[in-house]
Structure 1
Amino acid sequence: MASDKSIAASPALVFLAVAALMVAASVRAQAPTPAPTPAPAPTPAPTPAPAPSQPAPTPAPAPTPAPTPAPAPSQSPCPPGFSNSTAFILGVKQFLRRGILLLGPFLAPVIPGTSTTKCLCYYSTNITTNVPPLFGTFPLPPIVRPNITGPIACVRGPATINF
């Protein structure tokens, strides 16, 4: 009986030993390899300096490099956007004074002939609401609607807008 247990235990021990070796090899393979040390650069043999016969001419000073120009301002007359609806409403008046009409996500008052540039502004974020299935029916798609309290983005619109 004692010999039967040792025979049965032997494959289990071999399995554990192989598993331990595999784990050790895996850890060693994943460890970063040390960077090789570069060979020291050979030192050149000193050469005797010739006796100076004349003093060397001084080089002309290098011209100072021109400063880099500032980046060009945005070419779009439209604002990049507004943080919320209140800021948009205040911005409509300011931009209209400069001849830029902001057409918003909600209808802004349009005064014909007062603007040469039109910007289309829209709510740039959405709110998604999941709809639970009704009475065990198939699942309904989520409802996506504009986030009216979120930021508003603006882009330049076409030259003519038909209402």
Structure 2
Amino acid sequence: MKLEQISDLPIVYMRRTGAYGEENNQLMARFKHWMTYNNVSKGNLLTDNAVVLGIIWDNPAHVPPEACRYDTALVLSAQQEITDECVQQAILQGGSYAVFTIEHTQEAMNRAWQVIFSELAGAGYQLDETRPILERYMPFMLEKHVCEICLPIQNRI
């Protein structure tokens, strides 16, 4: 775990609402197709400076599964301007995050989700449930078969 201050991020995104699971992967595949069509990626390869996020807005322990929101997003650079009705635009609020680097496999992701919250608490930090959890994917990380889960934190317990 490392701590990171993430700035407010301009993003374009696609959203699905429903229980978290396989349909999130389908949304990511649809978003990757959109990025290829819009020259943000070449096939499954992101351009060098692209940052893709999976944004988990709701805690299924507090929100009914059918109301859980998941976005797949691309962080825009200052010079990027995208106007396409397939995606929405927003500014994702930044803040302090605990960042966990994990293998980019389904098994590793499942294991990580089982332990990261206790690791966070064990390090003396409290989850900030007013901001979303981020899954972060960048080309240099994907080349190493890793990704990051970024937990928003409030302060030390």
Query: Could you state the TM-score of these two structures normalised by the residue count of structure 2?
Result: 0.27
Query: Could you state the TM-score of these two structures normalised by the residue count of structure 1?
Result: 0.27
Q: Which has the higher contact order (CA 8 A, sep 6+)?
A: 2
Which entry has the higher C-alpha Rg, 1 or 2?
1
- The structure with the greater share of residues assigned to strand is 2
